[in-house]
Structure 1
Amino acid sequence: MEKIEHSFLSIRGLNLHIAHIGKGELGTVVFLHGFPEIWYSWRHQMVAVAEAGFRAIAPDFRGYGLSEQPPEPEEATWEDLDGDLLAMLDSLSIPKAFVVGKDFGAKPAYDVAVSHPDRIAGVITLGVPFVPKLFSRDSLPEGFYIFRWEKPGRAEADFGRFDVKTVVRTVYILFSRSEIPIAEEGQEIMDLADSSTPLPEWFADEDLAAYASLYETSGLRFPLQIPYRSFHKWVDKSDPKVQVPALLVLGEKDYYLKFPGVEDYIRSGMVKSFVPDLEIIYMPEGSHFVQEQFPDQVNQHMIKFLKSHI
């Protein structure tokens, strides 16, 4: 961790924070986090790929962690993340890179691979496959966490009852389970885990402190905007094809597999009609945070893929 360096880049009018390590003899790997994560969630992978000969770069998305807040968060779109990624590669004079995406970070990873395949050497995603359109909302109840958090004011009131550290702690507990976080009537998402619930054994108090300090800096205004309050701005791509090599590492206890149609889409092979050169690795005990839960295994799969597509 002490070898990881930190810089700020002026990207599309904002100062965005990146963590970076490695000389990059074999190429560059860019890591895109999800929620409630920041660059720190890639700490294990960054060191491993750097030791394998790659340059590892993990930005905090705009509005997250140490990156600057956009002046009008409510105007943000998914395309902002795509533009930031491309501008970051340009700023660092990187003609082509591998991109690793987790959770909603998988979307800009794949979007840029589809629209600018000349800039992407390959894509690795954890838990989330390429999807040509948004998941169906029809069969999900009102207490589904995305429905709760996409309503302006609802999450603010829920989170506002606790300090930032407790909010991050609770989200990590809930999202590391195999069940989708769904609140009952009269209950909020933060009520689904109480203070007596232990953190996952692979998530140390020092890790929680690192996350909390960064969210104390950034707050939750933009993280609620993207992803949760921007799904209505999601633009489905017509006849999309991912023409670069891809790897999907899937924790079989990831709650995301219980989203409507997701597991069948992956296991039936339908996903390969959009991503022809796709390798899928299943990790039976893996959760939504598989890269922190089983870092050594994930690192091995990742490095094998990277080295086979140099």
Structure 2
Amino acid sequence: MGEIEHTYLQIDGLKLHVAAIGDVASPPVVFLHGFPEIWYSWRHQMTALAGAGFRAIAPDYRGYGLSDPPPQPENATYADLVADLRALFDALSLPKAFLIAKDFGARVAYLFALIHPEKVSGVITLGIPYLPPSPVKFLDLLPEGFYISRWQKPGRAEADFGRFDNKTVVRNIYILFSRSEIPIADENQEIMDMVDSSTSLPSWLTEEDLANYGSLYENSGFQTALKVPYRSLFEEFNITNTKVDAPALLIMGEKDYFLKFPGMEDYTKAEQAKMFVPNLETVFVPEGSHFVQEQFPEQVNKLIIDFLSNHS
């Protein structure tokens, strides 16, 4: 199986970092991370898939981790990430691949599947179901003190994050996002202050993991990450066909805080996304949080490998 290899691709004038493991002749699987994650958040899945006979490929988005930031991070878009993914397919000579996406990476994966359906063997998302690519109306229902509402405002999150080193920023977000419900900040409170320095890490996240996350963000910081996803959620794509025919799997933790978003629990548990993704299967992991792939890697790996094997 070998070790995870790290290379760089020149895409759109940027040097993008790509981690990969597995035989180059094996069926390819491309992983798309969320925030505050990075390629490293797929470490358990990558080695398991390589051992099961797949080629696991995990890029860092532009402006994330070891990849170059765009020249104007404030202008970064989801469309950039979709274009970078297509360029990655071309650079690695991938005629077709499975996509596995976490958090906002689900939007990147499904946009890619809508725009380039011939390139997608199947889609697996964790933490977020398929949502049509029109402006995200439910965000209008979020209270002012919710983290997305705060981070959409240019400068506010930068000032909040800037008071801490990268490791502490990732630590606090992991602790918050591992909860079944994220508390609402009051008018004078910042998100980073909602976690006390004495609060313990989730049992499945080690200090070594946290140090790795912190060091990987040394290169990029969080400027691009705040633009995509948080300040690009209302981006228009002018896509008329919003149906994805590829086989799909949604893996959700039963205690994922995303289920508390307005209407999301009903939408997810009733599999309303099947209106757009008819070949969708949904699996709930008891006790799973928003970071279910790191929290319960063996269970998630089995779900993923079974899906890939059934549709290869």
The separation in 1 between residues aligned to 2:88 and 2:48, in whole angstroms, is 22
Rounded Cα–Cα distance in structure 1 between residues aligned with 2:164 and 2:305: 39
Q: Is the 8 A contact 1:173 1:200 kept in 2?
A: yes
Cα deviation for residue 2 of structure 1 reads 7.6
- CA–CA distance in 2 between the matches of 1:38 and 1:46? 13
Seen in structure 2, the aligned counterparts of structure 1 residues 8 and 76 have a Cα distance that, compared at 3 Å, is same
- Distance in 1 (alpha carbons) for counterparts of 2:302 and 2:183: 30
- Counterpart of 2:254 in structure 1 is 252
TM-score by length of 1: 0.97
Q: Distance in 1 between matches of 2:41 and 2:266?
A: 28
Q: Per the alignment, in what secondary structure is the counterpart of residue 201 of structure 1?
A: coil
Q: Which amino acid aligns with 2:98?
A: F
Note closer, same or farther for the CA distance 1:142–1:2 as it changes in structure 2 (3 Å cut): farther
Aligned residues of 1:49 and 1:56 also touching (Cα < 8 A)? yes
Q: Percent identity?
A: 64
> What stretches of structure 1 move > 4 A for 4+ residues in a row?
none
In structure 2, what is the Cα distance between the partners aligned to 1:65 and 1:213?
8
How far apart are the structure 2 equivalents of 1:269 and 1:232?
23
Aligned to 2:291: 289
The TM-score normalised by the length of structure 2 is: 0.96
Aligned-residue Cα RMSD (Å) equals 1.4
SS in 2 for 1:280: strand
- 2:137 and 2:53 map into 1 onto residues whose CA distance is 37
Equivalent residue for 1:50?
A: 50
1:172 aligns to what? 174
Does the aligned pair in 2 maintain the 1:135–1:259 contact within 8 Å?
no
Question: Would you say the 8 A contact 2:145–2:184 is kept in 1?
Answer: yes
Shift of 1:138: 3.4
Contact kept, 8 Å, 2:74 with 2:223, in 1: the verdict is no
1:267 and 1:110 map into 2 onto residues whose CA distance is: 19
Amino acid aligned to 1:169: R
Aligned to 1:163: 165
The alignment covers a number of residue pairs equal to: 310
What residue identity is the alignment partner of 2:123? V
More moved, 265-274 vs 211-220: 265-274
Q: 1:125, CA displacement in angstroms?
A: 0.3
Alpha-carbon distance in 2 for matches of 1:228, 1:106: 14
User: Quick check: 1:125 aligned with 2:125?
Assistant: yes
Residue of structure 1 equivalent to 2:225: 223
Bigger CA drift: 105-114 or 261-270?
261-270
Deviation at 1:220, TM superposition (A): 0.9
User: How do 1:95-114 residues align onto structure 2 when only pairs under 5 Å count?
Assistant: 95-114=95-114
Distance, in Å, in 2 between the alignment partners of 1:181 and 1:115 is: 37
Cα distance in 2 for residues equivalent to 1:179 and 1:234: 29
Q: 1:201 aligns with which of 200, 203, 208?
A: 203
Match of 1:308 in 2: 310
SS at match of 1:233: coil
Deviation for aligned residue 1:24? 4.6
AA paired with 1:267?
K
Distance 1:99 1:55 in 2: 12
Check the 8 A contact 1:247/1:305 in 2, yes or no. Answer: yes
Matches within 5 A, 1:19-58: 19-58=19-58
- Give the conservation status (yes or no) of the 8 Å contact 1:181–1:189: no
Unaligned runs of 5+ in 1: none
Offset of residue 235 of structure 1 = 3.6
Q: Give 2:69's aligned amino acid.
A: Q
C-alpha distance 248-207 of structure 1, shift in aligned 2 (>3 A): same
Q: Is the 8 A contact 1:24 1:53 kept in 2?
A: no
Alignment-derived partner of residue 85 in structure 1:
85
Aligned residue among 113, 136, 139 for 2:138: 136
Q: Does the CA-based 8 Å contact 1:123-1:245 persist in structure 2?
A: yes
- Tell me whether 62-71 or 172-181 shows the greater mean CA deviation: 172-181
SS in 2 for 1:70: coil
Displacement of 1:234 after TM fit? 4.3
Bigger shift: residues 259-268 or 229-238: 229-238
Q: Partners of 1:173 and 1:234 in 2: how far apart? A: 32
Cα deviation for residue 141 of structure 1 reads 1.1
Distance in 2 separating the partners of 1:113 and 1:49: 21
Q: Is the 8 A contact 1:149 1:155 kept in 2?
A: yes
- Distance of 1:180 and 1:2 partners within structure 2: 39
What residue is the counterpart of 2:73 in the other structure? 73
State the Cα distance separating 1:180 from its structure 2 match.
Answer: 2.8
Q: Who is 1:11 aligned against?
A: 11
* Corresponding letter in the other structure for 1:28: P
Larger mean CA deviation between 297-306 and 262-271 belongs to 262-271
CA shift at 1:237, angstroms? 3.9
Q: Give the C-alpha shift of residue 276 in structure 1.
A: 0.2
Q: CA deviation at 1:27?
A: 0.4
How far does residue 139 in structure 1 lie from its aligned partner after superposition? Answer: 2.7
